Amino acid sequence: MTPRHHRLESRAVRVGALAFGAAGIGNLFTPVTDDEAARAVDAAWEAGVRYFDTAPHYGLGLSERRLGAALRARPRHEYAVSTKVGRILEPVPATAGDDLADGFAVPATHRRRWDFSARGVRRSVEESLERLGLERIDIAYLHDPDDHMEQALDEAYPELERMRDEGVVGAIGAGMNDAGPLTRFVRETGVDAVLLAGRYTLLDQSGLVELLPLAAERGVGVVVGGVFNSGLLADPRPGATFDYAPARLETLSRALELQAVCEGHGVPLRAAALHFPFGSPAVTSVLTGARSAAEVQDAAGLLGRPVPDALWAELKERGLLPADVPTPQDTD
């Protein structure tokens, strides 16, 4: 399979098969220099990546600022940027330590405040535009509204619709780690896209129960993140993490079985993990985080690497994938 580009069916927003996740250049867990961040974005561009995802949450705005700076000289019509709403960044009187409690190695110059009100959504988009140095956002996602679903549906979503009508954002959606609430957004609203993290992978196909079939039926694009389930499918070994916690023994054993089958076909497990979501016709993009040029180049190379049909067939024969799960050869 070679990287391809899609338009969201309901909007003139072009997204690529491989999306650049910019949490890493927001100093996720460990610091990244400005130069390293710029080189990562440059490498993505050189690899043909034209869809970049960020959020105010990532490094208290650092990810948005760095991404905007790295893209500033690029032709605006050639790329798409998505960011997110739901967390307002408010300055604190004085820097009090770092932000590592929330996962980012940056000074704690701001605090996050959940806000899915109409006013909060508009403020969030306006501040993101300023940090990014852009005049419009291509896709605006409601970010992790799990504990704020009613306000997100009743206030935040209608405001995003108004901003879409105004042309401030090109497409709207929601991004979550749970397929159930995203299914509700697809069913009850006019979202253009959803970002599903960690729930359509070689180890977890819960997104296939309702969300992916409904999205395909309604022409809603699905961006799949977390294809490595936070590390286990990138390097299955004792101590590896599955969904940000140490993997249980049975989960590790399954990942090692997946790896053995892949290696028997001469395919890295990471390549199979990146290709797998494209078995669903609803999936437009796979989003991978990168903090360096080498990581971007690795992901692009793996996605461009052919995966034989026989590999998918053997995974099903061994019970490592359900017999009825769609795999990439089904859509070729």
Contact 110, 91 (CB under 8 A): yes
Contact 215, 282 (CB under 8 A): yes
Nearest in space to 288 (alpha carbons), one of 22, 104, 37, 15? 22
Q: Strands 87-91 and 110-114: what pairing?
A: antiparallel
Per-residue exposure over 303-322, b if at least 16 CB sit within 10 Å of its own CB, e if not: bbbebeeebbebbeeeebbe
Q: Which residue has the tokens 């072009």?
A: 14
Contact 175, 113 (CB under 8 A): no
Angle (nearest 5°) at CA 76 between 72 and 82: 85
Distance between CA 236 and CA 117 in Å, rounded?
A: 42
Known catalytic residues are 58
* C-alpha distance across the termini of the chain, in Å: 8
